[in-house]
Chains A and B, each alone.
Chain A
Amino acid sequence: MERKPKINEFQVNCETGNYHTFCPISCVAWLYQKIEDSFFLVIGTKTCGYFLQNALGVMIFAEPRYAMAELEEGDISAQLNDYEELKRLSIKIKTDRNPSIFVWIGTCTTEIIKMDLEGIAPRLELEIGVPIVVARANGLDYAFTQGEDTVLAAMAHRCPNLPKLEERGVVLFGSISEQSTKHLSLELEKQGVKVIGWLPAKNYAELPNLGPNTYICGVNPYLSRTATTLMRRRKCKLIAAPFPIGPDGTKAWIQKICKVFDIQPKNLDEREKMVWQTLKPYLDIVKGKSVVLMGDNLLELSLARFLIKCGMTVYEIGLPYLDPRYQNEELNLLYKTCIEMNVRLPHIIEKPDNYNQIERIQDLQPDLVITGMAQANPLEAQGITTKWSVEFTFSQIHGFMHAKDVLELVTRPMRRKLLLHETYTKKIDQTNNVPKLFVV
């Protein structure tokens, strides 16, 4: 069955899915820091552990609140009892670290050997007295940031029921830094929209109350499972909106939420305009430049839309997975932005094939390729400027406040090229840049 976004003008193709991305278990990296009283136990093999150790670099030396439950041959061949093994490890962690909540991350291996984590967790939870949430963030089904989606979807079941009949406001979902959550909450509250809470919250006990008719809205483009769970299981009402990335996205996001609450947003256009003005130096660099997003973290649609608005031409948007319903408003805004900026609609490629993409990149010779680290150095060696895509996941990019940070990242490789080029070609007789000499 062919899935098409609502705007059928977009050319959406699906390739082989042979692309480089992070394993979704990488979500523990930012989630354990976000949820301060949690402990993440990744139940998998040496392969998973090796990935985490290498991908997270220095973080592992700071006594992280995550660990591997490394499966050995006895676990695979069911000579050991899963329940007893998990109990042993969980009790040890409880004694050492005393978390308020365990998050068990199921991996490819637990999936294949059909370890019944969802069955074991409630029993063990009763026995050890610590809530256990199970998320299947495995590479068989998901890519990179979708790991967060599986964790938040599982956590949505743990949000307490709304005690009162109705509280008028919105629950936001998506794990972003404390600073960014405050910033976005404040922007909404300025318009008179009450932010009831966030999923996830800083602490397990602070998870927001949910009930039928609670309005919810996502801040990240990769949270479709969480949205679905909140709608179907908790009967919440989803406010479909573009994502608050870039000043254009942030404005549209606020507008859409205000509309639901029948609020006429105040000073929003001026606010956006002011942000664009502060971006001016960056816009001068990116204007007219072309970019290809190879795709690995599902932020691609929102980033491309913002970059087009900045005056760039986007040739191709690769992305691991396109949920045309959850991303519908983002697609609409992308379409509108292309018309407004008078550029051709970018080619959207779901499950891209890196080999084909590199052939296309070699033909197109774009000014910038946003890609993973596996391809970045080889592309640079071919003279193609690259930006390492994972940085967008690990940086603050949401809201008016961080629009600048996005462009800081996007322009950095271009500025660096310019800098190195200038240094090499600088003429000795240039007088305006001569340093002052002090002999004291």
Chain B
Amino acid sequence: MKLAYWMYLGPAHIGTLRVTCSFRNVHAIMHAPLGDDYFNVMRSMLERKREFTPVTTSVVDRHVLARGSQQKVIHNITRKGKEETPDLVILTPTCTSSILQEDLQNFVEQASFDSKMDILLADVNHYRVNELQAADKTLLQIVQFYLSQTRIQSSIIKKTLNPSVNIIGALNLSFHVQHDIAELKRLLADLNIEVNLIIPEGASVNDLQRLPQAWCNIVPYREVGLQTAQYLEKQFEMPFVTTTPIGTVGTAAFIREIGQILQSLEAPFFNYESYIQRQTRFISQATWFSHSIDCQNLTGKQAVVFGDATHAAALTKILALEMGIHVLFAGTFCRNESDWFYEEVRDFCDEVVISDDHNLIGDLIAKLEPSAIFGTQMERHVGKRLNIPCAVISTPVHIQNFPLSYRPFLGYEGANQIMDLIYNSFTLGMEDHLLELFSGHDTKSIGSKSLTDSEIWSLDAQAELSKIPGFVRGKIKRKTEKFAQEAGIRTITVEVMYAAREAVMS
């Protein structure tokens, strides 16, 4: 048993449902007790979907416990087939059905006898995989099913006339995914590359047979789609790109990789290098912005990064490489990606943290006191408590992270967006200076309220402390107290403060 208040990743069935609901006309039937269909609420509220979420529950109740599901699951599958005529029904096990150990595969086979649609049992184990791993697995399962079913007709392997790619791994309830896909399409159009298929978001399972017609595959997010890309490589010799096009450096690497692949496949010549140069130097604002004098203030600023593997790695690189910010630690909750993550960020941060314990991450942030946090909604709340600004860069997220306006993270426009996000997270340059010069905005109100609790501060020192700008005052107070404690000093005078400052600086 594990004591837990909060988790970064949901249970396995959520991953499966995110994949099935992203396809068009695919229905999921959960084998679950009443109340486990909370996914429908999340999809309807967070993504503000206008259509009903295509997920139904075959309810596990006392009767099912006593006698087994018997005809119930089969009935629910065939009923849904008649009501909604989906192309595919996915029977989705949950933690409950995992331990009931009913032969769900048998139900699938029985229901297949008198249904026209395809029926599959999602092959995920609740106790072994998390939400993202399950999504990855389910996507592979569906792709495999539709590509093996056709038994490799030669017509489907014929490549498209012009260079084309599949984008794999765009899911419902992902972070800024709709905007990312739009941006990726724009980028590819610039490069004269056609998009063959985007899966699963908005795709029909009947289209899946066209997957091998693309020249190569793109997996923009590390967590979901990799297995599918690997399968397509093995089966159809399709190369794939896993470099995440986040940030100008990341996007350039991504374009070069595609360029190399396409050139090796004898695509018509396209000058990728000059495109990258033009975008980086003149069209995208990100690189220029970070070189502009305003960003000099960010020199030496400290930040921490935490999130899923893709976003945390990309943000760490942007902060260190493109913005010159000191990353104290970079971390991810995707334990299964720890090796990849370490390799990605090892040159760009002091420490690498792999953990799914939010308390540990919170304590670490409190200890390090960075000037800004880049994390999930959980870190945003930690930031609130510690009075440190936080930008959200990864799931888990709330409704405000499903913005209506165009907010990609990928590509050149994504780089602009991220630049804004980072810059706005730190105190603005001029404001920073003025605060220091004139001792903060709010010197009047403090004094009594925040300082009476600690009797060790002399009056002079309290006055001095009040001159320090509000946003660093807490940090300096704590550091000075720590210094005094370690040095065995009972009363903090102005002198002690200066000594502490010197000790900390040296």
A interface with B by C-beta (< 8 Å): 17-18, 20-25, 43, 45-47, 49-51, 53-55, 57, 60-61, 64, 67-73, 75-76, 80, 85-86, 88-89, 92-93, 108-109, 111-113, 138-144, 355, 358, 372-378, 381
Q: How far is the CA of A122 from the CA of B422 in the complex (A)?
A: 54
Q: List chain A residues, Cβ under 8 A from B44.
A: 373-378
Q: How far is the CA of A376 from the CA of B44 in the complex (A)?
A: 8
Interface mask (B45-57 → A, CB under 8 Å = 1, otherwise 0): 1001111110011
Q: How far is the CA of A374 from the CA of B41 in the complex (A)?
A: 4
Query: Are A72 and B41 in contact, CB atoms less than 8 angstroms apart?
Result: no
A43-B1, A50-B11, A51-B35 are known contacts; what are 17 more A-B pairs with Cβ within 8 Å?
A22-B35, A22-B38, A23-B38, A47-B13, A51-B36, A54-B42, A60-B5, A60-B6, A67-B3, A85-B1, A108-B96, A140-B60, A143-B34, A374-B40, A374-B44, A374-B53, A376-B44
The answer to whether the Cβ of B301 comes within 8 Å of any Cβ in the partner chain is no
Q: How far is the CA of A46 from the CA of B133 in the complex (A)?
A: 15
The answer to whether the Cβ of B447 comes within 8 Å of any Cβ in the partner chain is no
Q: List chain A residues, Cβ under 8 A from B76.
A: 18
Q: List chain A residues, Cβ under 8 A from B3.
A: 67-70, 89, 92-93
**Nearest 7 pairs between A and B by C-beta?**
A23-B35, A139-B33, A381-B50, A374-B40, A45-B95, A46-B11, A139-B35
Query: Are B62 and A112 in contact, CB atoms less than 8 angstroms apart?
Result: no
Which listed residue (B11, B56, B127, B398) contacts A72, Cβ 8 A?
A: B127
Q: List chain A residues, Cβ under 8 A from B4.
A: 49, 67-68, 70
What are some 12 contacts across the A-B interface (CB < 8 A)?
A21-B34, A51-B36, A55-B38, A67-B5, A70-B1, A92-B3, A112-B96, A113-B99, A358-B52, A374-B41, A374-B52, A375-B52
Query: Are B7 and A378 in contact, CB atoms less than 8 angstroms apart?
Result: no
Q: How far is the CA of A50 from the CA of B8 in the complex (A)?
A: 9
The residue in chain B whose Cβ has the minimal distance to the Cβ of A355 is B83
Q: How far is the CA of A101 from the CA of B99 in the complex (A)?
A: 31
Query: Are B41 and A373 in contact, CB atoms less than 8 angstroms apart?
Result: yes
Which residues of B from 16 to 75 have beta carbons under 8 Å from A? 32-38, 40-42, 44-45, 48-53, 56-57, 59-62, 65
Task: Give A427 Cβ to nearest chain B Cβ, in Å.
Answer: 29
The residue in chain A whose Cβ has the minimal distance to the Cβ of B79 is A355
Query: Are B127 and A378 in contact, CB atoms less than 8 angstroms apart?
Result: no
Task: Give A46 Cβ to nearest chain B Cβ, in Å.
Answer: 4
Q: List chain A residues, Cβ under 8 A from B398.
A: 57
**What band does the interface of chain B fall in when counting residues whose beta carbon is under 8 Å from A?**
35 or more
Number of A-B contacts (CB under 8 A): 151
The answer to whether the Cβ of B280 comes within 8 Å of any Cβ in the partner chain is no
| Residue picked from B2, B7, B13, B61, most chain A C-beta under 10 Å | B2
Task: Give A15 Cβ to nearest chain B Cβ, in Å.
Answer: 12
Q: List chain B residues, Cβ under 8 A from A142.
A: 34
Which listed residue (B1, B36, B40, B60) contacts A86, Cβ 8 A?
A: B1
Query: Are B1 and A24 in contact, CB atoms less than 8 angstroms apart?
Result: no
Q: List chain A residues, Cβ under 8 A from B41.
A: 20, 54-55, 372-374
Q: How far is the CA of A263 from the CA of B127 in the complex (A)?
A: 60
Give the secondary structure class of A's interface.
helix
Q: A17 and B1 in contact (CB under 8 A), knowing A76-B127, A113-B99? A: no
The answer to whether the Cβ of B283 comes within 8 Å of any Cβ in the partner chain is no
Q: List chain B residues, Cβ under 8 A from A89.
A: 1, 3
The answer to whether the Cβ of B126 comes within 8 Å of any Cβ in the partner chain is yes
Query: Are A109 and B50 in contact, CB atoms less than 8 angstroms apart?
Result: no
Q: List chain A residues, Cβ under 8 A from B36.
A: 23, 47, 51, 139
Interface mask (B378-391 → A, CB under 8 Å = 1, otherwise 0): 10010000000000
Q: A108 and B7 in contact (CB under 8 A), knowing A20-B40, A138-B33? A: no
The answer to whether the Cβ of B295 comes within 8 Å of any Cβ in the partner chain is no
Task: Give B358 Cβ to nearest chain A Cβ, in Å.
Answer: 10
Which residues of B from 100 to 125 have beta carbons under 8 Å from A? 100
Which listed residue (A25, A138, A358, A374) contacts B37, Cβ 8 A?
A: A374
The answer to whether the Cβ of B171 comes within 8 Å of any Cβ in the partner chain is no
Task: Give A140 Cβ to nearest chain B Cβ, in Å.
Answer: 5
Which listed residue (B1, B6, B61, B65) contacts A53, Cβ 8 A?
A: B6
Query: Are A80 and B1 in contact, CB atoms less than 8 angstroms apart?
Result: yes
Task: Give B383 Cβ to nearest chain A Cβ, in Å.
Answer: 11
The residue in chain A whose Cβ has the minimal distance to the Cβ of B13 is A47
Q: A378 and B50 in contact (CB under 8 A), knowing A47-B94, A54-B38, A372-B41? A: yes
Query: Are A377 and B50 in contact, CB atoms less than 8 angstroms apart?
Result: yes
The residue in chain B whose Cβ has the minimal distance to the Cβ of A20 is B37
The residue in chain B whose Cβ has the minimal distance to the Cβ of A92 is B3
Q: List chain B residues, Cβ under 8 A from A143.
A: 34-35
The residue in chain B whose Cβ has the minimal distance to the Cβ of A48 is B95
Query: Are B7 and A69 in contact, CB atoms less than 8 angstroms apart?
Result: no
Q: How far is the CA of A57 from the CA of B42 in the complex (A)?
A: 11
Query: Are B33 and A73 in contact, CB atoms less than 8 angstroms apart?
Result: no
Q: How far is the CA of A18 from the CA of B36 in the complex (A)?
A: 12
Q: List chain A residues, Cβ under 8 A from B38.
A: 22-23, 50-51, 54-55
Query: Are A47 and B11 in contact, CB atoms less than 8 angstroms apart?
Result: yes
Q: How far is the CA of A377 from the CA of B43 in the complex (A)?
A: 10
Query: Are B96 and A378 in contact, CB atoms less than 8 angstroms apart?
Result: no
The answer to whether the Cβ of B10 comes within 8 Å of any Cβ in the partner chain is yes
Q: List chain A residues, Cβ under 8 A from B5.
A: 60, 64, 67-68
Task: Give A383 Cβ to nearest chain B Cβ, in Å.
Answer: 11
Query: Are A50 and B1 in contact, CB atoms less than 8 angstroms apart?
Result: no
Query: Are A112 and B59 in contact, CB atoms less than 8 angstroms apart?
Result: no
Query: Are B2 and A70 in contact, CB atoms less than 8 angstroms apart?
Result: yes
